[in-house]
Amino acid sequence: MQGTQQTPAESAPYTPTDRTVPTRAAHKASYDRDLVHAILDEGYVCHLGFVRDGAPVVLPTLYGRVGERLYVHGSTGSRPLHMTGEAGPGLPVCLTVTHVDGLVLARSAFHHSINYRSVVVHGTAHQVTDPKEKRLALDALVDHVVPGRSADSRPANKKELAATAVIRLDLNEVSAKLRTGGVNDEPEDLALPHWAGVVPLRKGYDTPLAEAGLAPGTGLPDYLTAL
Amino acid sequence: MQGTQQTPAESAPYTPTDRTVPTRAAHKASYDRDLVHAILDEGYVCHLGFVRDGAPVVLPTLYGRVGERLYVHGSTGSRPLHMTGEAGPGLPVCLTVTHVDGLVLARSAFHHSINYRSVVVHGTAHQVTDPKEKRLALDALVDHVVPGRSADSRPANKKELAATAVIRLDLNEVSAKLRTGGVNDEPEDLALPHWAGVVPLRKGYDTPLAEAGLAPGTGLPDYLTAL
């Protein structure tokens, strides 16, 4: 099923490449488009890697997704955004999003692990110059934090738009990797007197803390109550 | 206080370098050693960046800390570990750990943000070949998942040690970056009818799920009850 289509349809899996097929634990890899989207949409921060002066740099940053495009924004003065330039060949990047779901405690030290879901995107980031796409990207970045939020905030004005650089990374060379389930101990270790199992990590939201001085009548919006 | 010592004592801050002084939002950066350690110790997964064939690669991976050394492990066949080699110049890496603490919803789209704490480590990773250090590193990796756990598990045997590669990254070129607190809206936006505030992210643990077939009398250990 994988790798058979040159131009995959919206629901087809991503085509594996040399970079997205792991050298080991290949069974943990997936190219499923819906799975990739779900992992990306659940995250708040990606880790964006690029090369500067021959050395790797990995920075945490917000992101947003519109279909098969990821957007990252920042000040026009920030390093990775500046490096993409306004035109030209773009900046080779690797963008990774990871969720830790549980701690896997095996009877043997060797088989300790975590349950996780991650997505790694390889590609070339380009600066977004089209004003319409830039607005769309900024809305996506805000809606990524809280779905529906961009419609309930003051849109960026000209000055803010000018101060914000947005880069785009297309979802072409993409893979997900995940570990789920229980402990994989060696058969000869099963009788050892060590507790073994999974500690799930709990995730959620605490009560929203309203700023002082909200406009009169500004209650907690439904999209926050629903979190 | 910063940058005045060539060989900082254990409690002195890390010395800033060109790579660890941000080009913008410099007030969010910190070189405080205790803060850096605390952020590192709270994380489960780091994002390890390196350069392969001229392009950046960012992979999520477990890590452990012993004093001013970070350890990452993996199969001897895995790409980054293989690239460090057994000797030689080592592998330039960037290791980043990030915690997302809250969603910052401003009245303006532009001032949306997140509260976070991150640490970025630049340096050269070297493969650990000394068996004693390797054991220490593997204990640290297990204890990083759950403090105290390495003493309550079967240590790695010779075969497992041989199959595991460990790389070390010293904490020299290090910075933390954080955003805390509330919303920074423009004065002219304060009367807008949009809810503004911070949604804190809740973190914790769900009830541990014991494996079937634990040895009789193997109850939940205190270090898990204490989580």
- Tell me the pLDDT band of A86, cut-offs 50, 70 and 90: low
| Helix or strand holding residue A82 (H, E) | helix A79-84
Looking at residue B75, its pLDDT comes to: 72
For residues B8 and A155, what is the distance between their CA atoms, to the nearest angstrom? 47
**pLDDT of B2 over the 50 cut:** no
Higher-pLDDT residue of A192 and A79 is A192
Greater confidence (A10 vs B119) lies with: B119
* Mean pLDDT, rounded, for A74-99: 79
**Using one digit for the tens of pLDDT, what is the confidence trace for B22-54?**
877 778 899 999 999 999 999 999 999 999 999
d(CA A116, CA B24): 33
Cα–Cα distance for residue pair B39/A44, rounded to 1 Å: 18
Angstrom distance (rounded) from CA B21 to CA B184: 23
End-to-end CA distance of chain A: 36
Residue type present at position B42: E
Residues of A in contact with B190 (CB under 8 A): 213, 215
Q: What is the pLDDT of residue A70?
A: 98
Looking at residue A25, what is its pLDDT?
76
Instruction: Take residue B71 and report the two structure tokens written for it.
Output: 């350890």
Q: Is A195 in contact with B221 (Cβ distance < 8 A)?
A: yes
Which pLDDT value is given to residue A139? Answer: 96
Given this model, what pLDDT does residue B1 score?
35
Q: Do A209 and B217 touch (CB under 8 A)?
A: no
Residue B126 has pLDDT above 70, yes or no: yes
B169, pLDDT greater than 70: yes
Residue A90 has pLDDT above 70, yes or no: yes
A70 in Cβ contact with A217 (< 8 Å):
no
Mean pLDDT of B161-185: 96
C-alpha closest to that of B199 among A201, A64, A210:
A210
The string of DSSP letters for A100-160 reads EEEEEE-SBGGG-EEEEEEEEEEEEEEE---HHHHHHHHHHHHHHHSTT-GGGSBPP-HHH
Question: Chain B residue closest to A111 (CA)?
Answer: B156
Distance (Å) from the alpha carbon of B108 to chain A's nearest alpha carbon: 4
Task: Judge: B109–A154 Cβ closer than 8 Å, yes or no.
Answer: yes
Q: From CA B137, how far away is CA A137, in angstroms rounded?
A: 43
pLDDT at A3 over 50: no
Q: Give the gap in angstroms from C-alpha B138 to the nearest C-alpha of chain A.
A: 8
User: Smallest CA–CA separation between B222 and chain A, in Å?
Assistant: 11
- State pLDDT tens for residues A186-222: 999 999 999 999 999 999 999 999 999 999 999 999 9
Q: In the predicted model, what is the mean pLDDT of chain A?
A: 91
Question: How does DSSP classify residue B82?
Answer: H
Instruction: For residue A114, list chain B residues with Cβ-Cβ distance below 8 A.
Output: 44-45, 62, 145
Q: What is the pLDDT of residue B168?
A: 97
- Whether residues A114 and B145 touch (CB distance < 8 A) is answered with yes
pLDDT category, A40, cuts 50, 70, 90? very high
The pLDDT value given to residue A134: 95
Tell me, yes or no, if the pTM score tops 0.90: yes
* A98·B190 Cβ contact <8 A: no
The structure tokens 């900024």 sit at: A138
Q: Are residues A78 and A52 in contact, defined by beta-carbon separation less than 8 angstroms?
A: no
pLDDT at A89: 82
Instruction: Determine, for residues B139 and A206 on separate chains, whether the beta-carbon distance falls below 8 Å.
Output: no
Share of chain B residues as helix, strand and coil, in percent rounded to the nearest 5: 25, 35, 40
Look at residue A11 in the predicted model and tell me its pLDDT. 82
Return the number of other C-beta atoms located less than 10 Å from residue B27's C-beta.
8
Q: Residue B105: its chain A contacts at CB < 8 A?
A: 145-146, 149, 153, 224
What's the confidence (pLDDT) of residue B227? Answer: 84
Band (A6; pLDDT cuts 50, 70, 90): very low
**Which positions in chain A touch B77 (Cβ < 8 Å)?**
23-24
Complete DSSP assignment for A43-82? -SEEEEEEEETTEEEEEEEE-EEETTEEEEEEETTSHHHH
Residue B86 has a pLDDT of 61
Say how many CB pairs under 8 Å bridge A and B. Answer: 289
What does the pLDDT look like over A45-69, one tens digit per residue? 999 999 999 999 999 999 999 999 9
> What are the pLDDT digits (tens) for A123-168?
999 999 999 999 999 999 999 999 999 999 999 999 999 999 999 9
Percentage of residues in chain A having pLDDT higher than 70: 90
Closest listed residue to residue A38, CA positions, set A223, A169, A178: A178
Mean pLDDT estimate for chain B: 91
Q: Is B4 helix (H, G, I), strand (E, B) or coil?
A: coil
Question: Please, are residues A78 and A165 in contact by the beta-carbon 8 Å criterion?
Answer: yes
Question: How close is the nearest chain B Cα to the Cα of A227, in Å?
Answer: 10
Determine the pLDDT at residue A28.
Answer: 86
Q: CA-CA distance, A63 to A171, in Å (whole number)?
A: 13
- Residue B16 burial class via C-beta count within 10 angstroms: exposed 0-12, middle 13-18, buried 19 and up: middle
Per-residue model confidence (pLDDT) at position B6:
44
